[in-house]
Chain A
Amino acid sequence: MSALSVKHLLGIKDINANDIDMIFKTADTFKEVINRPIKKTPSLRDTTIANLFFENSTRTKLSFELAEKRLSADVINFAASSSSVSKGETLIDTVNNILAMKVDMVVMRHPYAGAAKFLSKHVNATIVNAGDGAHEHPTQALLDAFSIREKLGDLKGCKVAIVGDILHSRVALSNIFCLQKLGAEVMVCGPATLIPKYIHELGVKVELNLKKALEWCDVANMLRIQLERQDIKYFPSLREYVMLYGLNKQILESLSKQIVVMHPGPINRGIEITSDVADHAQSLILQQVENGVAVRMAVLYLLAGSIK
C-alpha cells in the first residue's frame, strides 16, 4: 500500500523517482486493462472530473477524457472559447463555480505558466496540470519516459536528445526533469535562438548541430516549432529550419546506430520530421499515444485514491 508524495500533479519537478516508478507500475496494469475485450474498470465510479481547457488540444484532451471514462469517472468538459471566460470571469471564479457542482478533480490546460499551481493554492480540488504555458506538461513527460522504458528497458544511462523549439516547449522542460530523475542523460538541440540561455544549469548538454546530436543519442524526441507562441522571428525562414533541423529518412538511416524517434504531436509533417520518418519502424509516435491513456489512468487513479 502506498501513495504518491503529492496531492496534485502540477509538474515533474515536484515529484520523485519513487512516484514515477509507482505511476509506471500502475500504468503497466492499466495498459493490460485497455487491451481487454471490456476496457473499463469501476475504480473512479464515485469521482467527478472537470476537464478545463483554456487552450486548444486534441490528443491530451481526448486522452484524458478516455482515461477518465475507462476508470468510470463522471466527466464534464469545458473549453474557454465557448464559456463565460470570454465575458470576463476570472480563473478562480470559473473553477469555484464548477467545484460548487461537487467536482473532485480538475484537469487543466492554460496558456499561462504557473496557472495549475495557482489554482491548487486557491481551490479545494485535486489538480492535474495538462500543460501550463511554456512551463510543464507532466503527463506528456511521463508517457514519453514510459514509452522509452517499454522500448529500451531501463532509462538509466539512456541518452535522449530533445530537438527543436526548446524555448517555448513545456514538453521539453517536463521531459528534462523526468528523464534526469530516472537516470537518463539529456541533450537539447536546436537553433541557438530557440535554446533558453541558462538551460545548461539544469545539467543538460547543448548541441547546435542536429547530426551530432543524433549520433550521440539513443532516442530523439522531435518537437514542433510553436509558431503561435513566437512573438518575434527566431530564425530566418522555415525552409532554412527544415534544412538544418528537420529529420528525414536519409539522415536517420545514415546514423551509425538505430535510434528511436518520438514526437509529442501535433506533427508538422515536412518540418521537424518528414512523413517517412513519422511512419518509420523506428518511430514510437503511435505507441506514445496508446501509452498516454494508460499513464493518465494511472495518474488519475493514484491521485483520486487520496481524495477523502
Chain B
Amino acid sequence: MSAQFQLLNAAAFDHTIKRLCYELIENHNNFENTVIIGLQPRGIYLSGRICDELQIITGLTGIAHGHLDVTFYRDDFRRRENPLVPNRTQIDFIIEDKNVILVDDVLYTGRTIRAGMDALLAFGRPKKVELMVLIDRRYSRHLPIQPDYVGKVVDTIASDNVKVKWKEIDEQDEVFMITENEDNL
C-alpha cells in the first residue's frame, strides 16, 4: 500500500521561499553581478518565485532571470524508451564572469544538475555557479553534487516519490511524498 504525506503546506512553502531569498541576499548583496537561472521544466517556477520575492524584499528591479533546458545534455539519451521533448531555453543576458544561481525544485541523483552545468557552459564561462533547490533528497546522489541553498532536506529511499505542486500550474503550493514504506510515516 502506498501512502502520501505532506512535507510542506502552503504557509511553510511561502516561509521557505522567503528564507531562501534572505540567504541569497546575504551572499549576493545587490545582485549586480548575479543571474538566476531556473532549470526546465519545473525549476522555472521556483526561480520565478524567488525573483518576485527578491524584488519585494529588496526593491531591486531587473534581476537577470533565465530559463535553461537540459534535454540535449542529459546522459540517458537512447537509454530511455522514447526521447524527451525539449522545452524552451531563454537566456537573454551574458553569463561570462557572472555568479550564476542554478535553481531546481527537487535534487535527487544530481544528474539533471550535471547536465545543467554542461548546458550552461554553452553560454560562456561563469565566475561561479551555485545551486538552489526547494527539496534535497539526501543520501541518494549518483554524482558528487551538493546544493548551496536548500528549502528542506528529506530522507528518502529509491521507491519514494517527492512531488512539488506550484500555484502557477497545479492551483496550490504544496510538497508531498508518496511512499510504499509506511514505517516512514
Contact = CB atoms under 8 A, between A and B. Distances in A.
B72 interface: yes
Contacts of B87: 29
Contacts of B27: none
Contacts of A306: 82-83
Interface of B: 69, 71-73, 77-78, 80-90, 118-119, 121-124
Nearest to A3: B82
A36 B71 CA distance: 16
A interface majority secondary structure? loop
8 contacts: A1-B82, A3-B82, A29-B86, A36-B123, A40-B122, A71-B72, A307-B78, A308-B78
A38 B118 CA distance: 11
Contacts, number: 68
Interface stretch (A178-186, A258-266, A283-291, A297-305): A297-305
Closest 7 CB pairs of A and B: A305-B83, A41-B72, A3-B82, A38-B122, A29-B86, A43-B72, A1-B82
B67 to A, nearest CB: 11
A25 B123 CA distance: 22
A32 B77 CA distance: 20
B124 A25 contact: no
Nearest to A32: B89
B78 A2 contact: no
Contacts of A38: 121-123
B83 A29 contact: no
Contact of A26 (B81, B86, B90, B124): B86
A42 interface: yes
A307 B121 CA distance: 28
B72 A42 contact: yes
Interface of A: 1-3, 22, 25-26, 28-29, 32-33, 36-38, 40-44, 46-47, 71, 301-302, 304-308
Nearest to B119: A41
Given A29-B88, A42-B73, A37 B83 contact: no
A32 B92 CA distance: 11
B81 to A, nearest CB: 7
Contact of A37 (B71, B73, B122): B122
A38 B87 CA distance: 18
Contact of A41 (B73, B80, B83, B88): B73
B83 A302 contact: yes
A305 B80 contact: yes
Contacts of B121: 38
Nearest to B95: A37
A157 B69 CA distance: 33
A37 B72 CA distance: 16
Contacts of B85: 1-2, 22, 25-26
A33 B89 CA distance: 8
A46 B79 CA distance: 11
Given A41-B122, A305-B83, 20 more contacts: A1-B80, A2-B82, A2-B85, A3-B82, A3-B83, A22-B85, A26-B86, A29-B72, A29-B86, A29-B89, A32-B88, A33-B72, A33-B89, A36-B122, A40-B122, A42-B73, A46-B78, A301-B72, A304-B83, A306-B82
Contacts of A26: 85-86
B183 to A, nearest CB: 32
Contact of B84 (A1, A33, A304): A1
A122 to B, nearest CB: 24
B85 to A, nearest CB: 6
